[in-house]
A and B are shown apart, each in its own frame.
Chain A
């Protein structure tokens, strides 16, 4: 319990420092978990000091949420960056919202090498581009695939991709 409150105190100091440097941040905390929402053009400026000055040296996950038809949602896509300070175990969630038509977020591969495949997955499933990524190709779906299937406007059963193959018969094989 005490360790938890010490951690909360630490994150309060962190948030105060960040708030002074980036006035456009909005922060919130829930049950000891801290969340920062950052505008897209300040993302790299925020993440670089988080890694280099504040010691968030590990990117646990980078994923995306599609808020189409979501109650009270104002933005279409929300990216989630889950960071960890490996020294203290403190966690931090950084969120960025993007909207059509400009679906691009600067790549963080230059900061965390592990973001490489995570960003490829987000591109594959949601169609969000990451300028600065060294090799932004599809990672799970075949390269001929044209859609981004985790978007909410993509039908669950697909648009016919699963039965678009030649049929082999006995005499052909």
Chain B
């Protein structure tokens, strides 16, 4: 079935168009709690210029954002706040865990620091580094854009698919040295 189209008309499917709009207008929510927040600010500032990728509009209200960037360690007192902010953001929304502390707790293996925010909120992209360079964060955002283009649908099917995933191995709590009964028996 041939359709005669003028040269200046393009056709696409609605998903691809919606994803293209979404990925090029990410509005980040800066959840900056530590030194990663400084690199996050540098990423948004003129030298590294996040505006080239359509993600320069940092909003401090979760209701206006669709990309939460958790930059820095999150302590147990802060985690309910983080979860509340995540819940207040509108779908479609994504989360970047920036730096070693947000992803794993980093060197802060103590009673109050959450050992990776992915235990309690869904994370789409991890940026390694302590703290990561702005280039690394930009690479993370570019990868996330690619993922949005590839996975996103207007019907939101990708969220159901991600819910079915098994919990990651790293989500298990490691035994505490000198405290856990298994270790004591082995000794």
Chain A residues at the B interface, C-beta cutoff of 8 Å: 141-142, 149, 154-173
Contacting residues, chain A, for B185 (C-beta < 8 A): none
Q: Mark B161-187, 1 if CB is under 8 A from A, else 0.
A: 011000000000100101100000000
Give the docked Cα–Cα distance between A157 and B120 (Å): 18
Closest A residue to B83 by beta carbon equals: A168
- Say yes or no: is B80 at the interface (Cβ < 8 Å to chain A): yes
Alpha-carbon distance between A19 and B113 when the two chains are bound, in angstroms = 47
Would A171 and B163 count as touching, CB distance under 8 A?
Answer: yes
| Other-chain residue from A157, A163, A172 in contact with B114 (beta carbon distance below 8 A) | A163
Give the residue name and chain of the B residue nearest to A173 (CB): B87
Q: Which of B99-127 contact A (CB under 8 A)?
A: 109-115, 119-122
From known contacts A167-B120, A168-B87, A170-B163, infer whether A155 and B80 are also in contact, taking CB-CB under 8 Å.
no
* Interface flag for B77 (CB, 8 Å): yes
User: Can you list 11 contacts pairing A with B, beta carbon distance less than 8 Å?
Assistant: A155-B178, A156-B110, A160-B173, A161-B76, A162-B110, A164-B76, A167-B119, A168-B120, A168-B122, A170-B122, A173-B87
Chain B interface secondary structure, helix, strand, loop or mixed?
Answer: loop
- Known interface pairs A156-B110, A162-B112. Does A169 touch B179 (Cβ–Cβ under 8 Å)? no
Is B31 close to A, CB under 8 A? no
CB contacts (< 8 Å) of B80 on chain A: these are: 165
Q: Give the distance to chain B from A59, nearest Cβ to Cβ, in Å.
A: 27
Q: CB within 8 A of A162: which of B83, B111, B121? A: B111
Is there a chain A Cβ closer than 8 Å to B27's Cβ? no
Q: In the complex, what residue of chain B is closest to A171 when comparing beta carbons? A: B163
